[in-house]
Structure formats: structure tokens, C-alpha cells
A and B are shown apart, each in its own frame.
Chain A
Amino acid sequence: DAGITQSPRYKITETGRQVTLMCHQTWSHSYMFWYRQDLGHGLRLIYYSAAADITDKGEVPDGYVVSRSKTENFPLTLESATRSQTSVYFCASSDQGTGQETQYFGPGTRLLVL
């Protein structure tokens, strides 16, 4: 049972470069989420998706783009990376949208923008 995987696990990039973080889940969950985790801020929602081709902004969407052409994949793209986007990025999924479901998290991607 692979669950939810993220790649790469670690990434170093330079300011201005485009970076794509991948997220894949094997449960066919409808909902998927991207969070960033920063010291002193906890986890903050970047984008989420209720189903394939349906995405919406979270708390901190600026500078990020998402797509969801297939249910199992939810890539996050930093169009032009900035140092403030240095963070740990977590992908998560859940199977319904009532608000009572557990969200299942991936292992995270540590991104360093130089």
C-alpha cells in the first residue's frame, strides 16, 4: 500500500527558476491539498482540489500554480522561485469533503531556494 508519495524529497534551486513538486496518492481520494510548513507558522494551506480539474486557493497561494488532470496526481509548481518559498511542503489527501475526514499526509519535500 503506497499511500501518498512526494517527489523529490529534497530540492535545491535558485531564485527565478521554475520548480515542480509532485504528489501522488494511490487511494483514489477525491480531495488533495498542498501545505507549507514554516517555523513559527505551523502548516498553511496553499491550494486544494476537490476532484480532477477542480482546484481552489488556500491561505497562501501567491507564487504557486497547481493542476489536477488525474485524480491521483496533484503537482505544485513554483513559477519563479523566491527565497521566501524556502520551506517544507506537504501534500495530503482525504476521501470526502464533509470536514470530518482524516487527512493523510505525504512525507514532505524540503525546498531550499538560494
Chain B
Amino acid sequence: AQSVSQHNHHVILSEAASLELGCNYSYGGTVNLFWYVQYPGQHLQLLLKYFSGDPLVKGIKGFEAEFIKSKFSFNLRKPSVQWSDTAEYFCAVNPYGNNRLAFGKGNQVVVIP
């Protein structure tokens, strides 16, 4: 069964600091990759996704993610976080042609003003 690993479940950082969240998956075939975000009290929503092309993907609110096929990774980055980025971030994976998502355990990110 495929699995998705997210490290450093709790992250606390100050405004303007850089953020990087790691995501690794264990699936050998072609995959589609997603990052979802859940702001406090809100629905999960899509941050960005990758399925082909340029491995550096840009999403909403200044986030980007890089797909490194050889490392089975899809790490999320933001150069300078804001207090409003406080949220839980989930990496999700599904194999091509199958829209059943497998989620990681999430990263709880707290940005201190």
C-alpha cells in the first residue's frame, strides 16, 4: 500500500522566516501530488498540485513545491511566512488514473507575529 510521510509534525516560526515542509511517498509508479491546507476553523482547500511538466509548482499565497522524482519527494516551501499562514498542511498522493487520495499525517504550522 502506498504511504505518505510528513516530518516535523509541529513547526513554530516567526513572521518573515522561511518555511519548508517535507513530503515523501512510497509508490513506484506515476503519481499526482497535492498539498492541501486547513486554516483554523475552515475547510481543507487546495494549495497546489503537480502531475506533469515543470517540477517546480507555484500555488496560492506565495507557496511553491518541488517534485524530485528520484527522491520520491514533494516538499512545500514559502520564502517568508506571515501570521495568516498558521494552519495545518497536508501532503496527498494518488496514482495516475486513480483519484483516491492518500494523505500524510499533516504539519501543524504556527507563525508567531
Contact = CB atoms under 8 A, between A and B. Distances in A.
A binds B: yes
Interface of A: 31, 33, 35, 40-45, 48, 58-59, 90, 92, 94, 96-108
Given A42-B90, A43-B90, A48-B100, A106 B43 contact: yes
A102 B49 contact: yes
Interface in B77-113: 90, 92, 94-106
Name, among B36, B46, B51, B103, the residue most crowded by chain A CB atoms within 10 Å (CB to CB): B103
B51 to A, nearest CB: 5
Contact of B46 (A33, A44, A102): A102
A31 B46 CA distance: 17
Nearest to A103: B101
B44 interface: yes
B26 interface: no
A99 B104 contact: no
A34 to B, nearest CB: 12
Given A42-B90, A107-B43, A97 B104 contact: no
Contact of A100 (B4, B32, B100): B32
Q: Report whether over half of chain B's contact residues are helix, strand or loop; otherwise say mixed.
A: strand
A43 B103 contact: yes
Contact of B94 (A59, A99, A107): A99
A28 B85 CA distance: 32
B interface residue count range (under 10 / 10 to 19 / 20 to 34 / 35 or more): 20 to 34
A45 B99 contact: no
Contacts of B95: 99
Contacts of A40: 105
Contact of A42 (B34, B45, B105): B105
Contact of A101 (B36, B43, B99): B99
A94 B99 contact: yes
Interface in B40-82: 43-46, 49, 51
B99 A97 contact: yes
Contact of B44 (A45, A96, A105): A105
A6 to B, nearest CB: 10
Contacts of B102: 45, 59
